[in-house]
Copies of this chain bind each other. A is one copy, B any other.
Amino acid sequence: MKPMVKDATGETQAARATLSEVAALAKVSVATVSKVLNGRTGVSDETRSRIETLLEERNYNRRLSAQSTAPLIDVLCYELDSPFAGAAVSGIERAAREHGIGMVVAGAEESHLPAPEWIDGVLRRQPLGVILVAALLPEKDLARLRSRAIPIVMMDPYGAPTTEAPSIGSADWNGGFLATQHLIALGHKRIAIITGPETMMASTARLSGYRAALDSAGIPLRRDYIRPGAFHRDDGVAEGRDLLSGAEPPTAIFASSDLQALGVYEAARSLGLRIPDDVSVVGYDDLPIAQWVGPPLTTVRVPLSEMAEQAMHLVTRLRDEPELAFSRVDMATSLVVRESSASPRT
């Protein structure tokens, strides 16, 4: 019978097992448990699985060894080649550098999950923690990280409702509200929205903010002004063209991502319409390109560098302050007014 201790939430739980206790229970050598812990080969599947189960059940806690290699964090990032990922990764790198920590980066697959062999590399590297940027882990990988007391933080501006890991998001509802309120204040009444995927919390929250701003101003909601999208440029081209060539076109379009907004730019151009003279456009994200396009894009800023810094801060503190495991931080969004929004022509 293991002694009971209080954990950070005040509940009692079994004290953490040591390596040799796990080895004794599994009836294998300490070296074998060590191999499994560090993701090495030379252990049968059956034994590996038995040891994995014990590590999890017995709440094994790897002592922080006098780290002989340089400290690392592992970052798994969705769509690593997107401008969005570029900003996130570069923010985490800056924060990691300030902490004297090296950053290992891997791209997630289309499914938002890592390549199957990713977890082996992580276990062998023994990082201080793992940051998931709009990425997900299968339950099996989560368990393997948990059993080795490697903390996980989700930096997920899209607020996907997933795992138990603490997360850093951003205020999507407020963002949607701010963007729409700005267009209303300029005098627009016919304001359309192109949304993100229905399955993402972020899309729902931005759409909800849009509706709330219209409501507050007493502007009736028009179903035909709400167009579905997936945060991609193509959405903006297709829906923008359709909206702007309709019988009663909107005078302003709120796109749920900067890339969608660029698509609306293209739609307007192909129809011979000028921005903001003929139609106002507001984007979302404030990627670097937002200020490079013509006209520079009015958009909602998602504070990616600040989020990256918070994620880095959190992941380095989780081991010592497990109560942080329950935290969910939403960082403030703000409106950046540039030249793509103006009063409608009367």
Which A residues are closer than 8 A to B by beta carbons? 38-39, 68-70, 72, 74, 80-83, 85-87, 89-91, 93-94, 97, 100, 102-107, 115, 117, 120-121, 124-126, 233, 259, 262, 265-266, 268-270, 288-289, 292-295
Contacts and interface: CB of A to CB of B under 8 A. Distances in A.
B105 A93 contact: yes
A83 B86 contact: yes
Nearest to A236: B292
Contacts of A295: 269
21 contacts: A38-B68, A39-B70, A70-B120, A70-B125, A72-B125, A80-B93, A81-B87, A81-B91, A81-B288, A83-B86, A86-B89, A93-B105, A93-B107, A94-B107, A102-B104, A105-B105, A259-B292, A262-B292, A265-B294, A266-B294, A289-B292
Contacts of A39: 70
A126 to B, nearest CB: 8
A46 B69 CA distance: 24
A121 B104 CA distance: 12
Q: Kindly name the residue among A86, A93, A107, A289 whose own CB sees the greatest number of chain B CB atoms within 10 A.
A: A86
A233 B100 contact: no
A102 B121 contact: yes
Given A81-B87, A85-B90, A265-B294, 8 more contacts: A81-B90, A83-B289, A85-B86, A93-B106, A97-B115, A102-B121, A265-B293, A269-B295
Contacts of A94: 107
Contacts of A86: 80-83, 85-86, 89
B106 A69 contact: no
B97 A106 contact: yes
B70 A80 contact: no
Contacts of A69: 69, 124-126
A89 B102 contact: no
A34 to B, nearest CB: 11
A231 B117 CA distance: 39
Nearest to A296: B266
Contacts of A265: 293-294
A104 B103 contact: yes
B107 A90 contact: yes
